A and B are shown apart, each in its own frame.
Chain A
Amino acid sequence: MKTGMAKIKPIGYAAEILGYREKTIKIRKPTRLTRLLKFPEKVETQRLIILINDAPATLDSIVTDKDEIRIMQMLGGG
């Protein structure tokens, strides 16, 4: 089976709670994003924006190799 790397790029608050700003992860087969991300219990995940290759996604979305995942807070914009 082909093994690829997915890139995870949380920014701002999302980077704080995940503890990194960029990470590459081996993906052996299509995987639910929720399996790749470990959020502290308190985090209101519905207030996060998740993009896979710039397209809107959710924690239930399937990630494959070479995908780029960006995660950020649902800011209110001042």
Chain B
Amino acid sequence: MYGWNGKILRVDLTNKKHTVQTYDAGFATTYIGGRGFATKILWEELPKGTDPLGPENKLVIAAGPLTGLPGPSLGKLVIAAKSPLTGGYGDGNIGTIAAVQMRRAGIDAVVIEGKAEKPVYLYVENEQGYLLSADGIWGETTFETEKRLKEAHGKDVGVLTIGPSGENMVKYATVISQEGRAGGRPGMGAVMGSKKLKAVVFKGTKDIPLADAEGYKRLVNEAYEDIKSRDYYGFWIRQGTMATIEWCNENSVLPTYNFREGVFELHRLIDGYALEAMKVKRRGCPYCNMMCGNVVLDSEGRESELDYENVAMLGSNIGLGHLGKVSVLNRMADELGIDTISLGSCIGFAMEATEKGLIKDGIEWGDYEKAKTLTQDIAYRRGELGSLLAEGVKAASQKIGGDSHRWAMHVKGLEISAYDCHMVPGMALTFATSSIGAHHKEAWVIAWEIKTDRAGYTEAKVDKVIEFQRIRGGMFESLVTCRLPWIELGFELEWYPRLLKAASGMEVSLDYMLYTLADRIYALIRAFWVREYAQNWSRQMDYPPARWFEEPITKGPYKGAVLDKTKFDTLLDMYYSKRGWDNRGIPTKTTLEKLGLTEVAQQLSQYVTLTP
């Protein structure tokens, strides 16, 4: 087999064992890699009711057939497990040299189960796994841990690590690499912490087998040139995703004051131009020629890598209009290993709860000093408020009561990423139906909505959401390639099957990846959720929070806008119908069978009645 290594490293932390599992071309082309591999493995190997923080949960670190090869933005991997935050399927992608080193180590994925007796880290070199003591690094920040591991194993190794928040099983702890690359929003860092696994270090010296090395090289050179020739390239290099702050504010979708509003009076102080004034360098994922990690010196003089999501959530969403201070909070989150989106949502939630008198001695809007303390408290689960918020906004709202569930901004337990949806119904649908809970990575339709019919609840919007989910959530997450060349610069999708053909020698068509692979993955992930929630599953799980339906925005050009619940339900019905799911949002037996998931249908029917 070319392209794929055909090997998965299996590690059992309890029994201190590892084995190398091989797989064939059939498995490779059916599931491609990344999210495709992870969904298949987690569905088959995690029994219903698996404790996400118990030894039986499995952490899957999976690359794709292009990962680790030179080529535009191909240096990514997926980290997946059952999520402790949502109780459903969870994953995240991360761009890191660890992805390259893992593939050069001769493996395409690592599956880790069990729990170590004492803190350890996993060192992987050329198919071999070694469990080494994490004494001396357990308790350290992600930055310090990576530094020490590089001192121990060489500066070229790839490191995935958790910080104190992962160790303390904060429900939205992430995995960090290279001081700012983060992945695994739904608590993948907490899963590592529960296993007493501080880090995974990869070192590889093997060549990834290529079907047509010369052809691949030619193609890659053309692809890089194509990206550089795009007219938006220069501006992208200057501002990256941070251009989105101004754009979102102009379009009333910038999350502000816990998603109450879509415009922020201090947006100019945290936008892409403010970034340009502070920027000291750029960094990013391996092999990327449009690196988007914009690094600034924060208000404490330390480097902090910014992008739109973390600035919006730790800026406008908490009423903080000072980029240097936002950068401190962002850097602290990266050091501690906390997801910046969920952190910003939790702090915003606490600020609103304080304002409404539901929390005593809480935190006021824009209170930077207290936000810093609270970030630490969350990471270490210190104090009443820190412990409360370490569970995420859904659990926090259940605990503090009142009407807080109406403005706890999550779907399925995952905090909503940085787009206010009072006036973009299509985007509300993407958050509602994202396969890990509210996340933008699988579909982002706001620009398309604004360009066509912003206020409409139309079939075309449903089609667009599904089209984007197929491309972004299905194909990109399985190839594990970055979506930004395509979405931001217009790099055509046709490049990917061509690259795959040159690398693997196999004809895997775009149509296959979009209509078979992606639909299979979406059905399988949905089956995972339904199996877990069984009789408690309902279409309510696919609703965005009440705030967007009930509380109009009060500022900006769309003052007075809210989502229409009845019309949203119509969108959801259309979505289900187009996916071949019933009106509860459960794939029908026919759909599962059509996607080659007959056994999944059989198993699922033990827990819910399937619609034929």
- Measured CB to CB, the residues of A under 8 A from B are 11-13, 16-17, 40, 42-44, 47, 49, 51, 54, 56, 70, 72-78
Report Cα–Cα, A11/B450, bound state, in Å. 14
Partner pick for A12 among B272, B450, B454, CB 8 A cutoff? B272
Cβ contact within 8 Å between A78 and B453: no
Cβ contact within 8 Å between B241 and A78: yes
Q: List 9 A-B contacts (CB under 8 A).
A: A12-B247, A12-B272, A51-B450, A54-B454, A56-B453, A70-B250, A73-B232, A76-B483, A77-B487
Cβ contact within 8 Å between B450 and A49: yes
Report Cα–Cα, A51/B231, bound state, in Å. 21
B6-26 at interface with A (beta carbon < 8 Å) = none
Report Cα–Cα, A15/B458, bound state, in Å. 31
B379-430 at interface with A (beta carbon < 8 Å) = 419
Instruction: Indicate whether A11 sits within 8 Å of B231 (C-beta atoms), given known contacts A49-B450, A56-B452, A76-B484.
Output: no
Report Cα–Cα, A51/B453, bound state, in Å. 11
Chain A residues whose CB sits within 8 angstroms of the CB of B451 once the complex forms = 49, 56, 74
Taking the complex as formed, is B56 at the interface, i.e. its CB lies under 8 A from any CB of chain A? no
Proximity string of chain B (237-279) to chain A, C-beta cutoff 8 Å, 1 when within and 0 when not? 0010101101100110000000000000000000010000000
Report the nearest B residue to A43, measured CB to CB.
B231
Beyond the given A72-B250, A77-B244, please list 11 additional residue pairs across the A-B interface where CB-CB is below 8 A.
Answer: A11-B247, A11-B250, A13-B232, A44-B230, A51-B450, A54-B557, A56-B450, A70-B250, A72-B251, A74-B447, A75-B488
Report Cα–Cα, A56/B440, bound state, in Å. 24
Proximity string of chain B (139-177) to chain A, C-beta cutoff 8 Å, 1 when within and 0 when not? 000000000000000000000000000000000000000
Taking the complex as formed, is B537 at the interface, i.e. its CB lies under 8 A from any CB of chain A? no
Instruction: Indicate whether A47 sits within 8 Å of B232 (C-beta atoms), given known contacts A74-B447, A76-B447, A77-B444.
Output: yes
Main secondary structure of the interface of B (DSSP, over half): helix
Cβ contact within 8 Å between B250 and A77: no
Q: Which of B241, B451, B490 has the most CB of A within 10 A?
A: B451
Taking the complex as formed, is B477 at the interface, i.e. its CB lies under 8 A from any CB of chain A? no
Instruction: Indicate whether A78 sits within 8 Å of B247 (C-beta atoms), given known contacts A12-B235, A47-B490, A49-B451.
Output: no
Cβ contact within 8 Å between B231 and A42: yes
Main secondary structure of the interface of A (DSSP, over half): loop
Chain B residues whose CB sits within 8 angstroms of the CB of A54 once the complex forms = 454, 557
B470-511 at interface with A (beta carbon < 8 Å) = 483-484, 486-488, 490
B435-468 at interface with A (beta carbon < 8 Å) = 440, 444, 446-448, 450-454
Cβ contact within 8 Å between A78 and B440: yes
Taking the complex as formed, is B307 at the interface, i.e. its CB lies under 8 A from any CB of chain A? yes
With both chains docked as a complex, state the minimum distance between the C-beta of B39 and any C-beta of chain A, in angstroms: 23
Taking the complex as formed, is B309 at the interface, i.e. its CB lies under 8 A from any CB of chain A? yes
Chain B residues whose CB sits within 8 angstroms of the CB of A11 once the complex forms = 246-247, 250
Chain B residues whose CB sits within 8 angstroms of the CB of A16 once the complex forms = 235
Chain B residues whose CB sits within 8 angstroms of the CB of A42 once the complex forms = 231
Cβ contact within 8 Å between B231 and A44: yes
- Measured CB to CB, the residues of B under 8 A from A are 230-232, 235, 239, 241, 243-244, 246-247, 250-251, 272, 307-309, 419, 440, 444, 446-448, 450-454, 483-484, 486-488, 490, 557
Cβ contact within 8 Å between B309 and A78: yes
Tally of contacts, chain A with chain B, CB under 8 A = 73
- 3 A-B pairs with the lowest CB-CB distances in the bound complex, closest first: A76-B487, A77-B444, A76-B488
Chain B residues whose CB sits within 8 angstroms of the CB of A72 once the complex forms = 247, 250-251
With both chains docked as a complex, state the minimum distance between the C-beta of A41 and any C-beta of chain B, in angstroms: 9
With both chains docked as a complex, state the minimum distance between the C-beta of B473 and any C-beta of chain A, in angstroms: 14
With both chains docked as a complex, state the minimum distance between the C-beta of A59 and any C-beta of chain B, in angstroms: 13
Report Cα–Cα, A44/B448, bound state, in Å. 16
Report Cα–Cα, A76/B452, bound state, in Å. 15
Report Cα–Cα, A16/B246, bound state, in Å. 13
Cβ contact within 8 Å between A12 and B246: yes
Report the nearest B residue to A48, measured CB to CB.
B451
Instruction: Indicate whether A78 sits within 8 Å of B231 (C-beta atoms), given known contacts A11-B247, A12-B272.
Output: no
Cβ contact within 8 Å between A12 and B243: yes
Report the nearest B residue to A47, measured CB to CB.
B490
Report Cα–Cα, A78/B487, bound state, in Å. 8
Report Cα–Cα, A70/B450, bound state, in Å. 11
Chain B residues whose CB sits within 8 angstroms of the CB of A44 once the complex forms = 230-232, 490
Report the nearest A residue to B445, measured CB to CB.
A77
With both chains docked as a complex, state the minimum distance between the C-beta of B274 and any C-beta of chain A, in angstroms: 13
Chain B residues whose CB sits within 8 angstroms of the CB of A56 once the complex forms = 450-454
With both chains docked as a complex, state the minimum distance between the C-beta of B265 and any C-beta of chain A, in angstroms: 17
Q: Which of B230, B440, B447, B453 has the most CB of A within 10 A?
A: B447
With both chains docked as a complex, state the minimum distance between the C-beta of A63 and any C-beta of chain B, in angstroms: 18
Cβ contact within 8 Å between B308 and A78: yes
Cβ contact within 8 Å between B241 and A49: no
Cβ contact within 8 Å between A76 and B419: no
Chain A residues whose CB sits within 8 angstroms of the CB of B241 once the complex forms = 78
Q: Which of A47, A54, A72, A78 has the most CB of B within 10 A?
A: A78
Chain A residues whose CB sits within 8 angstroms of the CB of B231 once the complex forms = 17, 40, 42-44
Report the nearest A residue to B272, measured CB to CB.
A12
Report Cα–Cα, A54/B423, bound state, in Å. 13
Report the nearest B residue to A58, measured CB to CB.
B451
Instruction: Indicate whether A75 sits within 8 Å of B484 (C-beta atoms), given known contacts A44-B231, A54-B557, A56-B453.
Output: no
Chain B residues whose CB sits within 8 angstroms of the CB of A12 once the complex forms = 235, 239, 243, 246-247, 272
Instruction: Indicate whether A13 sits within 8 Å of B250 (C-beta atoms), given known contacts A54-B557, A76-B483.
Output: no
Chain A residues whose CB sits within 8 angstroms of the CB of B450 once the complex forms = 49, 51, 56
Partner pick for A49 among B232, B307, B447, B484, CB 8 A cutoff? B447
